[in-house]
């Protein structure tokens, strides 16, 4: 089995086990037995169940960026860049609804995984800022980054609550929250 196939099988297994309430059972040995794959092969893909979720998040980030051109982004305002990038991330997540819902369920049940999920969002927002041309260095940059993380989480929770297929609501919520962020920036960060 190829590394990519093992990764897909591991993610499917993780989703199944999360939905069955077996997150705590997921060790490398457990995954190896369930997939009938040597532990050594599993370790070529991930070192832990947490690492596997990090890899999944990185895949979402890559999917988000696959149809984006930095040159095209330069032609629009920073707010429009952020909006486009965030919409692309939401598209990537909606293409994997079952996985996304399982990981949200895990975050709600496990405080450690909730913190890890926030860290993954933080990494995604760093990438989005990089593509949008937003400097995140220094105290002002950190404030911008944390603000975008908060916006993302608020919109994500609302998006998931009201249905992952309603793009009009998603666009409206993102636009509204990014407008608030823009006003905040113009008022406090000059």
CA distance 172 to 167: 8
- CB neighbours of residue 112 within 10 Å: 10
Query: What pTM, to 2 d.p., does this model score?
Result: 0.85
Q: Residue 39 pLDDT > 50, yes or no? A: yes
Q: Residue 62 pLDDT > 90, yes or no? A: yes
Residue 188 binned pLDDT confidence (cut-offs 50, 70, 90): very low
What mean pLDDT, rounded, does the chain reach? 87
Average pLDDT in the 78-88 region? 90
Please report the pLDDT score of residue 189 as a whole number. Answer: 44
Query: Percentage of residues in the chain with pLDDT exceeding 90?
Result: 42
Q: Residue 67 pLDDT > 90, yes or no? A: no
CA distance 166 to 129: 25
Give the 3-state DSSP-derived string for 72-140, with helices as H, strands as E and coil as C: HHCCCCHHHHHHHHHHHHHHHHHCCHHHHHHHHHHHHHCHHHHHHHHHHHHHHHHHHHHHHCCCCCHHH
Please report the pLDDT score of residue 164 as a whole number. Answer: 66
Q: Residue 190 pLDDT > 80, yes or no? A: no
Q: Which of 1, 46, 52 is nearest to 23 (CA)?
A: 52
Residue 170 binned pLDDT confidence (cut-offs 50, 70, 90): confident
| Assigned token pair, 104 | 């949200």
């Amino acid at each position: 089995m190829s590394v990519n196939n093992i990764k897909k099988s591991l993610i499917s297994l993780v989703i199944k086990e999360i939905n069955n309430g077996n997150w705590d059972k997921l060790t490398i040995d457990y995954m190896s037995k369930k997939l009938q794959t040597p532990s050594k092969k599993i370790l070529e893909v991930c070192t832990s169940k947490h690492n596997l979720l990090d890899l999944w998040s990185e895949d979402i980030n890559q999917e988000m960026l696959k149809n984006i051109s930095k040159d095209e982004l330069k032609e629009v305002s920073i707010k429009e860049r952020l909006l486009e990038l965030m919409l692309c991330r939401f598209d990537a997540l909606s293409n994997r609804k079952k996985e996304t819902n399982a990981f949200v369920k895990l975050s709600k049940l496990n405080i450690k995984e909730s913190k890890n999920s926030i860290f993954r969002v933080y990494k995604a927002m760093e990438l989005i800022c990089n593509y949008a041309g937003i400097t995140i260095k220094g105290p002002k940059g950190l404030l911008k980054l944390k603000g975008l993380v908060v916006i993302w989480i608020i919109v994500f929770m609302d998006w998931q609550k009201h249905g992952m297929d309603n793009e009009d609501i998603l666009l409206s919520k993102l636009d509204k929250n990014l407008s608030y962020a823009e006003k905040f920036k113009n008022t406090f960060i000059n």
